[in-house]
């Protein structure tokens, strides 16, 4: 995987030294090499940091161009169907100078224009400069696996894989967008196209933009998820998904260096390791565990590792790992309050010592409706609780598959409009949104059946904005590429066009994967309840840690957050809200002081 950056300046020649410093802010994304392209008038610059997997020679160095050097590209990603596209383009008389998958993008653009983006199967964010048309294109993959940010004003556009490369240019002001800050507390992330900073934007998933010489931006959504409700044989679907996943894993293992895998002992990673073992015997697998916790994933991962004969490594965490949050805020650029950011970073660090790339199971829960909020109840309840609820008339959290139900499932310390007024300094109350759930409403579709309403929101919101961001930053901080075989267009389209009863069973999670794995895995694995990549609650309930880290809060000092709110949450031992505040405090100290 790689890091990319670029700069188009209308009136002022680009400072080479500054631009290369901006590029090299992304060295962690690509420590294997670097390159820069500058136009003759020095008004256009493209930069690249390389983490190499295919064509390890110098011919794989980027930025890359066509034969007459009128089209240039810098690419972050992997194009898994590049062999098929390359063969087709060669038949159409295109001449390739390397064996890289990235070069396919240049020749595909020559052949099909930007319609070619919809032909790409993979994870990518790229920039393409057309010298003759004086057009710059920025594109991002349909799931949002790889990131791309851009800053634009009347005289320039600057883009990069991470914000830190943009703000290395000290002329770009680090001014917080308060509405984005509010979104962070509501969603745990800042939804696209916004970022934490004013005038810096995220390119949305499934989109590309074109930028002309007047810096006018035109945006196009090149791919839209489609839904149907077709009847289908479950037995036939199991067989087809088995074949499609095997094919996807094989493609994701395309590399001139060995590929390993994360392994939790759950269905998703176990399925990937099952297929991986068919192509690479004794591959490396990695897991994280938590000290003195009976649900710790490492013990289940080790069972699966023995079945598929992998070379497995586990590491056990304790509460001291919370201090890593200080380092993480440098790599994340924006505050992100998912509670698994620490174990995701640490497992990436472990894996990077032995592999340059690993497989991971992101996307399986979204595609096969594997989350607890896909059930009629917002979370699973035992029979004992339901019996008492009936007897004592307790409120049961019914899932109506509406925005309010989804927001409740996602909240982990809810900050709605009312709670934001408690939290934030009165001087910025005018920036609090009238409707704190605006982003969920953008993707809620009442015309599709449950649980597909939530599956689509998961793909666009939870996965596209939070999960994949977390994985990208945590892994690339360690120069590790994470590949996600479940996020395959054919698999996704196959499932989302079926009647949910074909792939969704309220009594058995991810029934399709379970049927694929049932011949291989023991009951201890097959009967496990869904568990996120988290530690025990006590891990996040160190209230002395919160008190220490928020005692002299800069957020309070700089009139962003009320001290009374922090005291309130400490008294109530509201660890979820305190976690969001603590993450923001750490981020603020890293980037705003």
Which residues are part of the catalytic machinery?
Answer: 2
For residues 329 and 332, what is the distance between their CA atoms, to the nearest angstrom?
Answer: 5
Count CB atoms within 10 A of the CB of residue 446. Answer: 10
Reduce the DSSP state of residue 563 to 3 states and report it: helix
Burial 118-154 (b: 16+ CB within 10 A, else e): ebbbbbbbbbbbbbeeeebbbbbbbbbbbbbbbbbee
Q: What angle do CA 473, 479, 481 make, to 5 degrees?
A: 75
For residues 355 and 289, what is the distance between their CA atoms, to the nearest angstrom?
Answer: 20
At residue 519, what are phi and psi to the nearest 5 degrees? -75, -20
DSSP 114: G
Q: Are 542 and 510 in contact (CB under 8 A)?
A: no
Strands 311-317 and 284-290: parallel
Q: Are 329 and 455 in contact (CB under 8 A)?
A: no
Three-class secondary structure assignment of 171-208: CCCCCECHHHHHHHHHHCCCCCCCCCECCEEECCCCEE
Give CA 350 to chain center in angstroms. Answer: 20
């Amino acid at each position: 995987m790689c890091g990319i950056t670029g700069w188009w300046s209308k009136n002022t020649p680009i400072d080479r030294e500054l631009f290369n410093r901006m590029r090299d802010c992304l060295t962690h994304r690509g420590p294997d090499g670097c390159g820069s392209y500058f136009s003759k008038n020095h008004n256009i610059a493209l930069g690249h940091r390389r983490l190499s997997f295919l064509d390890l020679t110098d011919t794989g160095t980027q930025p890359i161009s066509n034969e007459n050097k009128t089209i240039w590209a810098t690419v972050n990603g992997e194009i898994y169907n590049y062999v098929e596209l390359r063969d087709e383009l060669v038949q159409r008389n295109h001449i390739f100078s390397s064996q890289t998958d990235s070069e396919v993008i240049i020749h595909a653009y020559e052949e099909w224009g930007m319609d070619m983006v919809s032909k790409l199967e993979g994870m990518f964010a790229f920039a393409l400069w057309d010298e003759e048309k004086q057009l710059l294109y920025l594109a991002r993959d349909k799931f949002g696996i790889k990131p791309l940010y851009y800053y634009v004003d009347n005289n320039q556009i600057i883009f990069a894989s991470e914000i830190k490369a943009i703000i290395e240019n000290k002329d770009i002001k680090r001014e917080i967008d308060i509405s984005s800050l509010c979104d962070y507390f509501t969603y745990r992330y800042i939804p696209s196209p916004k970022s934490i900073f004013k005038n810096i934007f995220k390119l949305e998933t499934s989109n590309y933009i074109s930028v002309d010489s007047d810096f006018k931006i035109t945006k196009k959504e090149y791919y839209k998820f489609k839904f149907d409700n077709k009847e289908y044989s479950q037995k036939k679907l199991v067989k087809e998904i088995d074949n499609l996943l095997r094919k996807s894993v094989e493609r994701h293992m395309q590399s001139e260096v060995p590929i390993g895998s994360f392994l939790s002992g759950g269905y998703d990673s176990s399925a990937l390791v099952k297929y991986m073992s068919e192509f690479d015997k004794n591959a490396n697998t990695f897991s994280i565990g938590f000290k003195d916790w009976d649900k710790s994933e490492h013990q289940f991962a080790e069972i699966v590792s023995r079945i598929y004969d992998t070379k497995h490594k586990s590491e056990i965490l304790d509460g001291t790992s919370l201090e890593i949050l200080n380092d993480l805020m440098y790599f994340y650029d924006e505050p992100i309050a998912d509670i698994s950011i620490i174990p995701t970073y640490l497992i990436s660090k472990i894996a990077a010592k032995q592999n340059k790339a690993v497989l991971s199971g992101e996307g399986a829960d979204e595609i096969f409706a594997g989350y607890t909020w896909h059930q009629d109840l917002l979370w699973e309840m035992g029979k004992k609780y339901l019996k008492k609820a009936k007897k004592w008339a307790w409120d049961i959290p019914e899932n109506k598959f509406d925005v309010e139900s989804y927001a409740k499932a996602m909240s982990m310390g809810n900050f709605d409009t009312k709670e934001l007024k408690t939290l934030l300094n009165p001087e910025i109350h005018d920036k609090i949104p009238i409707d704190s759930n605006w982003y969920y409403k953008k993707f809620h579709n009442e015309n599709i059946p449950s649980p597909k309403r939530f599956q689509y929101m998961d793909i666009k919101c939870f996965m596209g904005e939070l999960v994949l961001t977390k994985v990208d930053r945590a892994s690339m901080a360690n120069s590790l590429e994470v590949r996600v075989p479940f996020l395959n267009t054919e698999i996704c389209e196959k499932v989302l066009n079926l009647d949910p009863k074909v792939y969704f069973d309220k009594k058995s999670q991810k029934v399709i994967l379970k049927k694929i794995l049932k011949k291989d895995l023991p009951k201890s694995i097959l009967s496990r309840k869904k568990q996120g990549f988290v530690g025990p609650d006590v891990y996040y309930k160190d209230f002395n840690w919160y008190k220490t880290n928020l005692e002299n809060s800069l957020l309070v000092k700089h009139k962003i957050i009320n001290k009374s709110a922090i005291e309130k949450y400490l008294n109530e031992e509201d660890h979820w809200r305190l976690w969001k505040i603590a993450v923001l405090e750490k981020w603020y100290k890293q980037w705003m002081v």
